[in-house]
Structure 1
Amino acid sequence: MPPTRASLRSHALAAATALTLRPVTTVVPLNRTGVRLGRRVAATSLAVLGPPLLGSRIVSVDRSTRRGPSVRGEWVRGPRAKRDDAVILYIHGSGYAICSARTHRGVTTRLSRATGLPIFACDYRLAPSHRFPAAADDVRAAYEWLVSEGHDPARIVIAGDSAGGHLGVDLTLQLLQEGVTPPAALMFFSPLFDPTFALAADRERRRRDPMISAVRVQRLLDLYFGETDRTTERMTFSFEGVGGFPATFLQAGGREMMAADAEELARALAACGGRCDLEIWPGQMHVFQAMPLLVPEAGPAIERAADFVVAELEAAERRGAFRLMEEGA
């Protein structure tokens, strides 16, 4: 189970963030210049607070097309990650506009080490140059590419953070609705579930998020969603009539406004008969798992997520072996 209280270092980091980063986010313009600045700040911050593990192997993949969905990203293997029997498709977050597979190497190398698995970190097209559904189309292309490369869907786990959670759920629902085999399991850190941001905004009115205001995030999401109605299908998800949704594991921080999204996603999956394990880590900020050098809880949280991934893959393997036995009987 998660700890019952946050460490002193986590409290100190949240307080420092509220005094520094949050005020800065209120003055940075949400235009192309502001987005470029945000990308530099995010890249620098994550490189300092969560650098990739030494001894990791990174291999770039670029199968870009001039138009339409493209497969871009990188294969990541953390130290001592030698398994080849399954793969994780990792979908980074940051409002569809800021981060990349490269900025998230701290998370992906640690998750790879903890699970022993290779990770394909998807680099989807970013706003404001590319709007909805460009990111979702690229994530779908990455999944289909992994399958075409010989990876059995029953041996693929989809993981991600923040906006990557919304993209991962969207992909899984698409596959189920089309009768296509979904991945073995899903695992998300601080997932976005409600693109209207009403849930998060309501929570932030009751307790300020140390990183950024709900209004600023809503405007950042506007760069991707534009004028698209966010209550339509593929925006506001409905699980009604959906069976066979993969087992899902969620972690969120107790101090972040998007804990409300994680809680609502867990409720929605439970309501449709799915299994969803939710952990709210007290005192933690948004995607605290990406800051292991300052947040003592980051490492144990990734280990718990890795335990879920490994357990679900083992369960899928047992189910597959049982089906083969039945077919041979």
Structure 2
Amino acid sequence: MPSNSSSTYPSWTVGQVSSVLGATVKCVADADEHLIGLCLMDITRIPAEPDPTTAAAAVMAELAGLGSRSFALPADADLTPVLPESGGVPAVWVTAGGASVEEGVVLYVHGGGFEHRMPELMNLTAHRISRATARPVLVVHYRLAPAHPYPAPLDDVVAVYRSLLDQGVPAAKIVVFSESSGATLTLSALLALKESGTALPAAVVANSAITDLTLSSPSIDDNAAGDSGVDRALLTRLIGQYLGDADPGLAPQSPIHGALDGLPPLLFTVGSAEALLDDTLRYAQAASAAGTKVSVEVYEAMPHVFQVTILSEQNPTGRRVLERITEWIAGSG
């Protein structure tokens, strides 16, 4: 695993990420906790193709066009339930042609600021994942804020995961794929499941994650101008209505504040232009220092939830994201 650091980084900025990715340091036994986290973390910079300006513009165009594009599923998509139960929580199975439960299951926890979802987009995303991984994908329709604040959405994610175990799917055959607020719920679910002694999934993919609900990451302000509409005001509103009366500084609702040892392998993908960049890097640093195997991929110039480009097979960023995630899942889950 590569060593990546040039100093101690209690918090992160874009400039510091560039410094870390461009330098190495010999890790020593008496290094402080920040340096230990950096030394253990597998962090990779993914250059923009063909260049940062062109790549970022293409992604922004994809995001802007989501409301008007078609999310029609390919002919090989099958929505037949693979298993009959989902823990009393609405959920949709999406299976691409050739995918088999024998390969395992992907549990998909969608984003949407805890408050909304786009089912057709989610199903097409699930199909892309199913086709790439050769596994059926279970899409969780957890309850949404503000009508259903914490802990309802978290309880739903936990219930669906446990339903897979109860129906005979081994934990070692389950991979969780998540994005944004869905990544928050996923990382929170890991803490809740660990606390209860439940077997944890084989691996977790967390895209553009929100990990610290106190909104303490410097990049929230530093990167807001270049992100895709994500800023402190929006995050404050979304997190406030999700939490209700819950404390943003406590786990499991704010996953960075939990005990991060004993978790399954984690892959984080994040854009260097994201307001939430530091949420990924700070969590990854802490989890690595706690002994959890963490891989981080920082995509140059990319905004929040740039991973939606996996829906467009012609988009080079989307192709690369899906290829790298699929390769990581094959090696971890």
Class of the TM-score when normalised by the shorter of the 2 chains: 0.7 to 0.9
1:204 counterpart residue number: 223
1:58 counterpart residue number: 79
2:112 counterpart residue number: 94
Report the Cα distance in structure 1 between the residues aligned to 2:90 and 2:286, rounded to whole angstroms.
Answer: 31
Q: CA deviation at 1:70?
A: 3.5
Report the Cα distance in structure 2 between the residues aligned to 1:124 and 1:154, rounded to whole angstroms.
Answer: 23
Are residues 193 and 161 of structure 1, via their aligned partners in 2, closer, same or farther at CA, if it must alter by over 3 Å?
Answer: same
Are residues 266 and 58 of structure 1, via their aligned partners in 2, closer, same or farther at CA, if it must alter by over 3 Å?
Answer: same
Q: CA deviation at 1:286?
A: 1.5
Higher mean alpha-carbon deviation, 75-84 vs 5-14, is at 5-14
Equivalent pairs, count: 284
Aligned partner of 2:320 among 300, 316, 320 = 300
1:239·1:268 contact (CA, 8 Å) conserved in 2? Answer: no
Report the Cα distance in structure 1 between the residues aligned to 2:199 and 2:60, rounded to whole angstroms.
Answer: 45
1:14·1:210 contact (CA, 8 Å) conserved in 2? Answer: no
Q: How does 1:1-329 map to 2 (within 5 A)?
A: 3-7=46-50, 9-13=54-58, 44-45=67-68, 47-48=69-70, 52-59=73-80, 70-199=88-217, 200-204=219-223, 207-237=225-255, 243-291=261-309, 292-293=311-312, 295-313=315-333
1:34 counterpart residue number: none
1:101·1:121 contact (CA, 8 Å) conserved in 2? Answer: no
Q: Which amino acid is the alignment partner of residue 202 of structure 1?
A: D
TM-score by length of 2: 0.76
1:88·1:118 contact (CA, 8 Å) conserved in 2? Answer: yes
Q: Which amino acid is the alignment partner of residue 203 of structure 1?
A: D
Are residues 167 and 241 of structure 1, via their aligned partners in 2, closer, same or farther at CA, if it must alter by over 3 Å?
Answer: closer
5+ unaligned residues in a row in structure 1: which ranges? 22-40, 314-329
Report the Cα distance in structure 2 between the residues aligned to 1:216 and 1:242, rounded to whole angstroms.
Answer: 27
Q: CA deviation at 1:137?
A: 0.5
2:205·2:266 contact (CA, 8 Å) conserved in 1? Answer: yes
1:107·1:289 contact (CA, 8 Å) conserved in 2? Answer: no
Q: Which amino acid is the alignment partner of residue 12 of structure 1?
A: A
Q: Deviations over 1:156-213 (max 9, x none)?
A: 11111001111111111112122221111111111111112231523335x5313333
1:88·1:157 contact (CA, 8 Å) conserved in 2? Answer: yes
Q: CA deviation at 1:129?
A: 1.3
Are residues 5 and 136 of structure 1, via their aligned partners in 2, closer, same or farther at CA, if it must alter by over 3 Å?
Answer: same
TM-score by length of 1: 0.77
1:37 counterpart residue number: none
Q: Which amino acid is the alignment partner of residue 311 of structure 1?
A: G
Report the Cα distance in structure 2 between the residues aligned to 1:164 and 1:78, rounded to whole angstroms.
Answer: 22
Report the Cα distance in structure 2 between the residues aligned to 1:187 and 1:193, rounded to whole angstroms.
Answer: 14
Q: Which amino acid is the alignment partner of residue 55 of structure 1?
A: D
Report the Cα distance in structure 1 between the residues aligned to 2:300 and 2:212, rounded to whole angstroms.
Answer: 22
Q: Percent identity?
A: 26
2:107·2:161 contact (CA, 8 Å) conserved in 1? Answer: yes
Report the Cα distance in structure 1 between the residues aligned to 2:329 and 2:265, rounded to whole angstroms.
Answer: 10
Report the Cα distance in structure 2 between the residues aligned to 1:139 and 1:127, rounded to whole angstroms.
Answer: 14
2:6 counterpart residue number: none
SS at match of 1:297: helix
Q: CA deviation at 1:15?
A: 6.2
Q: Which amino acid is the alignment partner of residue 299 of structure 2?
A: W
Report the Cα distance in structure 1 between the residues aligned to 2:128 and 2:236, rounded to whole angstroms.
Answer: 30
SS at match of 2:106: strand
Report the Cα distance in structure 2 between the residues aligned to 1:131 and 1:202, rounded to whole angstroms.
Answer: 26
Report the Cα distance in structure 2 between the residues aligned to 1:190 and 1:242, rounded to whole angstroms.
Answer: 18
5+ unaligned residues in a row in structure 2: which ranges? 1-43
